[in-house]
Amino acid sequence: MQVAVLAITRHGVALAGRIVAALPGARLFAPEKFRSEAEAAAPDAAQCYTGRVGDQMPAWFAAVDAIVAIVSLGAVVRLIAPHLGSKESDPAVIVVDEAAQFVIPVLSGHLGGANALAGHLAGALGATPVLTTASDARQTLAVDLLGRELGWVFEATHAELVRCSAAVVNDEAVALVQEAGRRDWWANHANGRPGPLPANLTLFEKLEDVDADHFAAVLWIATRAMPAELAARLAGRRIVYRPGSGT
């Protein structure tokens, strides 16, 4: 990931150096007045700017995969608000307090990888990750991350993602059909899941065994095309996951 680590105070710059060290390829951005501190904290990875920090945000949004800001949460919300596009394209945004007690994903927690990055940073800093997405807070399935760590890709509309995600976190009946791919994905799912699969998920080995009328959503892991009749019945409430070769 291309990561911009933003610090605007002297103590923040020192912490930013630790964050850059934990993220290979990350760069530290700080005000020009802290150039000497920034270059000492992150040798060969420091870049200083003049003017307002808000003026730098459009370039960072366009150029990086993630922004880690050692800035107050409220200030970060105001800084990024004018540049928000969509969860499919916005960079991950994470806030870290100057005492390195908390790491808070603010934007693009799942698709942008902010939650996963926050978990990594929390481990490196000895901090607490503050994950507020429902699936992470409840340690349940994140439908837009299923198999991601294995390289799986999903096929679904935005509306289908929303509906299926709601079904999972609201404890509605969900059919999970796995016809392909590795079976050990749950242990490493979304920063790791220590418990069993959620009780509202029913496992199947073949899509044709699912009585669609009994489930609010269907999650199908397969390499074959969905039969036309089932595709019509499940439209709007299904996600298809495609494992790659060997995954």
Which pLDDT does position 246 carry in this prediction? 63
Cβ–Cβ < 8 Å for 162, 237: no
Q: For 145-149, 227-231, 240-244, which range has the lowest pLDDT when averaged over its residues?
A: 145-149
Please report the pLDDT score of residue 138 as a whole number. Answer: 79
The whole-angstrom separation of Cα 120 and Cα 92 is 13
Residue 156 predicted with pLDDT over 90: yes
Other C-beta atoms closer than 10 Å to the C-beta of 154 total: 20
Among 84-88, 154-158, 181-185, which stretch is predicted with the lowest mean pLDDT?
84-88
- Per domain, the residue ranges of the chain are 3-132, 148-242
Indicate whether 188 pLDDT > 90: no
Q: Please, what CATH class does the domain formed by 3-132 belong to? A: alpha beta
Q: Give the pLDDT mean for 169-194.
A: 88
The tally of CA atoms less than 13 A away on the side-chain side of residue 47 is 12
For residue 64, the model assigns a pLDDT of 93
Confidence of residue 113 (pLDDT cuts 50, 70, 90): confident
Whole-prediction pTM? 0.77
Residue type, 72: S
Q: Output the 3-class SS for the chain.
A: CCEEEEECCHHHHHHHHHHHHHCCCCEEEEEHHHHHHHHHHCCCCEEEECCCHHHHHHHHHHHCCEEEEECCHHHHHHHHHHHCCCCCCCCEEEEECCCCCEEEEEECCCCCCHHHHHHHHHHHHCCEECCCCHHHHCCCCCCCCCCHHHCCEEECCHHHHHHHHHHHHCCCCEEEEECCCCCCCHHHHHHCCCCCCCCCEEEECCHHHCCHHHCCEEEEECCCCCCHHHHHHHCCCEEEEECCCCC
Query: Region 115-127: what's the mean pLDDT?
Result: 92
How confident is the model over 142-156, as a mean pLDDT?
Answer: 90
> For the residues 170-182, what does the mean pLDDT come to?
95
Q: 144 with 111: CB under 8 angstroms?
A: yes
pLDDT at 131 over 90: no
pLDDT digits (tens, 9 = 90+) for 59-104: 999 899 999 999 999 999 999 999 988 877 899 999 999 999 999 9
Task: Give the mean pLDDT of 166-194.
Answer: 89
Helix axes 10-22, 114-125, angle to 10 degrees: 100
Q: Check residue 237 and give its pLDDT.
A: 96
State the pairing for strand pair 102-107/92-96. Answer: antiparallel
User: 183-209 as b/e, with b when 16 or more CB fall inside 10 Å?
Assistant: eebeeebbbebeeeebebbeebeebee
Distance of alpha carbon 84 from alpha carbon 64, whole angstroms:
14
Q: What is the mean pLDDT of the chain?
A: 91
Q: In terms of Cα–Cα distance, which of 100, 120, 117 is closest to 108?
A: 117
pLDDT > 70? residue 233: yes
Mean pLDDT of the region 129-149: 85
pLDDT above 80 (res 220):
yes
